[in-house]
Structure 1
Amino acid sequence: MQITLDDLVFDVTVDGPPDGEPVLLLHGFPHNKESWTETAPLLHAAGLRTIAPDQRGYSPGARPAGTDAYRLPHLAADALGILDGLGVTGAHVVGHDWGAAVAWYLAAKRPDRVHTLTALAIPHLDAYQYAYRVDEEQQRSSEYVKFLVSDGAAEHFLADGAAQLHAWFTQAGEGVLTDAQIERYVRTHTGPGTLDAALNWYRANDLLGDPFGFGPVTVPTTFVYSRTDTAVSELAVEKTAEHVTGPYRLVTLEETSHWQPQQDPGTIAAEIIARVRARGTSDPATTVPPATRSGRG
């Protein structure tokens, strides 16, 4: 389906039981709403209704010109507008990669609209930026950001039949993503203007600059971190707990790569379901499969 917000038209997949609790699924870079292809059916089987948009720049009808149009407040407003368009006053918000950044922002700034937060792969951005300032590991891990905001990044990825874009999806190791998964993301980003618009998320939001100042997150929160993820340091993960004042659970995956929803949808779905069901009143750890667990809710 499509949802129109002012002059932007978003492609949105809504599925699952019509009376199920709403779960907003926000994809990251360089993906699209198909990030949730493997995870969403497991959520539907648990009675949840999922709302998965192609976000700003990824929906062909929601691709405004100008870098500033991709700043986080606009991205968060899109998410809320999509909920409004569906008549949803509040939702459980799940985000992966850049979608996690939007989800953290929403949870901090609009807790009245966010029932629970499940953030995948990317920590609270204030913790990330603190780690970047003081931690050599995070500084090394963030080198790729400098490349993505440089001139010619899109052309680099798309040259030679998008060879470097293919390589981006395989850098975590052979077999992490299937050929079919890689093909659907490459197909999306080789469409006219898509990759350049997706890179505007990096250009408009200075991950390596001053803290965004999200403030504390008060809603029940689960953060799923992959220890083999080269984009995030241990310090950034550790510091995230200091930015959550509500019930908080850290889940550390020992072998899953950055591509969590695609590589391990069973664990990701279980964590989302557990967080939804707990709502801060009981321990989600009692309803999820084995993983390295820590937290306070």
Structure 2
Amino acid sequence: MQQRTVTAGVLEVSYLESGPADGWPCILSHGFPYDVQTYAEAAPLLAAAGARVILPWLRGYDPTRFLSPDTPRSGEQAALAADLRALMDALGIGRAVLGGYDWGGRASCIVAALWPDRVEALVSGNSYNIQNIPRSGEPETPEVEASFWYQYYFHSERGRRGLERDRRALARTLWRMWSPTWAFDAAEFERTAAAFDNPDFVEVVIHSYRHRFGLVPGDPAYAHIETQLVAQPKISVPTVAIDGDRDGVDTGTAGHAAQFTGPFDHRVFKGAGHNLPQERPRDWAQAVLDARAMARP
């Protein structure tokens, strides 16, 4: 895989690319607290199947950088989606297969919902992953609330300081809690943890977890997108949605099917946690291929 950079919107986006330059475009986006290494095994499988695989580092993750010090370090969902669309524009990609989970899945879902002409097919960990911010104040079950402890932690200045003080320790704790059956080693974690050294990482993360609960304003540049997301727009593109049955932060999304109006397949990766592509790379790659086949009957 080759590392490249491109100016896209408000960012200088760094990304890994593999596969034939004239292959079918496939953009896979990572979540928090992970990075492009989550696709290290899945990407070559897709490249071998003819895909031009693009793996971007999201805003706030090394080595992607903001172009201006004056740009708000927003982590809101609309910003992530705008970044993904800007990347497609910068690379001259009209339509692509999009895939992701967590933050990256959310960006992919939003692009699929609002600009379906840009998306050939979608693979979404956590299914319909668009935040319903107006309803964020409604309580969940105690079990779900307990799994969101880190989000509430980030709402406080104590949480901000904790993330600043030792972002690696916090991320490692979340990896273990969210993927209890995944036996990652120290070297595997460190390959990803280097991405957390981005100077904007803390600010973007804190803003993300405060904005989704309506605690802080968003970047006005993305207000038009957030306004559209209030309606919880349905996704019409062919979609494979995936859950892990050992996910320590997401309790399952089989009930999301009504939000998808096109060809739809919901899968459960047995024994997998939250980091689906890295825990089950072959199954993830197959889901991408199957989603594309759904779009090309």
Query: TM > 0.5 between the two?
Result: yes
- Correspondence 1:152-231 to 2 at 5 A: 152-159=158-165, 162-171=168-177, 172-173=179-180, 175-206=182-213, 212-231=230-249
Checking the alignment, whether the CA contact within 8 Å between 1:131 and 1:233 is kept in structure 2 is no
Letter in 1 for 2:77: L
Alpha-carbon offset, residue 126 of structure 1: 5.5
Alpha-carbon offset, residue 199 of structure 1: 3.4
The secondary structure found in structure 2 opposite 1:69 is coil
Cα 1:131/1:197, change in 2 over 3 Å? closer
Alpha-carbon offset, residue 60 of structure 1: 4.2
Cα 1:201/1:129, change in 2 over 3 Å? same
User: Which of the residues 100, 104, 112 maps onto 1:95?
Assistant: 100
User: Which of the residues 239, 247, 250 maps onto 2:266?
Assistant: 250
- The unaligned stretches of length 5 or more in structure 2 are 217-225
Deviates more, 1:172-181 or 1:64-73: 64-73
Deviates more, 1:188-197 or 1:62-71: 62-71
Letter in 2 for 1:141: S
Structure 2 Cα separation of the partners of residues 11 and 49 of structure 1: 16
Alpha-carbon offset, residue 27 of structure 1: 0.8
Checking the alignment, whether the CA contact within 8 Å between 2:263 and 2:294 is kept in structure 1 is no
Residues 1:10 and 2:43 aligned together: no
CA deviation digits over 1:78-106, x for unaligned, max 9?
11111111111011110111111111111
Residues 1:61 and 2:61 aligned together: no
Alpha-carbon offset, residue 181 of structure 1: 2.1
Checking the alignment, whether the CA contact within 8 Å between 1:122 and 1:232 is kept in structure 2 is no
Alpha-carbon offset, residue 65 of structure 1: 5.9
CA deviation digits over 1:245-295, x for unaligned, max 9?
1111100122011111111101111111111122163xxxxxxxxxxxxxx
User: Which of the residues 22, 26, 29 maps onto 1:19?
Assistant: 22
Alpha-carbon offset, residue 66 of structure 1: 6.8
Q: Which has the higher contact order (CA 8 A, sep 6+)?
A: 2
Letter in 1 for 2:144: Q
Letter in 1 for 2:240: T
Residues 1:73 and 2:78 aligned together: yes
Residues 1:143 and 2:146 aligned together: no
Cα 1:90/1:244, change in 2 over 3 Å? same
User: Which of the residues 249, 272, 287 maps onto 2:288?
Assistant: 272
Alpha-carbon offset, residue 73 of structure 1: 2.3
Letter in 1 for 2:156: S
Structure 2 Cα separation of the partners of residues 132 and 232 of structure 1: 18
CA deviation digits over 1:152-181, x for unaligned, max 9?
324324546843333222333365323222
- Correspondence 1:278-297 to 2 at 5 A: 278-279=294-295, 281=297
User: Which of the residues 232, 250, 259 maps onto 2:250?
Assistant: 232
Which residue number corresponds to residue 222 of structure 2?
none
Structure 2 Cα separation of the partners of residues 77 and 162 of structure 1: 28
Checking the alignment, whether the CA contact within 8 Å between 1:126 and 1:213 is kept in structure 2 is no
Cα 1:274/1:122, change in 2 over 3 Å? closer
Root mean square deviation of aligned Cα: 2.9
Letter in 2 for 1:192: P
Structure 2 Cα separation of the partners of residues 208 and 230 of structure 1: 25
Checking the alignment, whether the CA contact within 8 Å between 2:123 and 2:240 is kept in structure 1 is yes
Structure 1 Cα separation of the partners of residues 84 and 41 of structure 2: 22
- Correspondence 1:127-138 to 2 at 5 A: 133=138, 135-136=140-141, 137-138=143-144
Cα 1:230/1:12, change in 2 over 3 Å? same
The secondary structure found in structure 2 opposite 1:112 is helix
Alpha-carbon offset, residue 8 of structure 1: 2.3
Deviates more, 1:208-217 or 1:250-259: 208-217
The secondary structure found in structure 2 opposite 1:214 is coil
Structure 2 Cα separation of the partners of residues 228 and 184 of structure 1: 24
Output the TM-score relative to the length of structure 2.
0.82
Structure 2 Cα separation of the partners of residues 257 and 207 of structure 1: 28
Cα 1:81/1:196, change in 2 over 3 Å? same
Deviates more, 1:114-123 or 1:267-276: 114-123
The secondary structure found in structure 1 opposite 2:22 is coil
CA deviation digits over 1:213-256, x for unaligned, max 9?
3311100011110111122234xx13310111111110012201
Structure 1 Cα separation of the partners of residues 167 and 152 of structure 2: 23
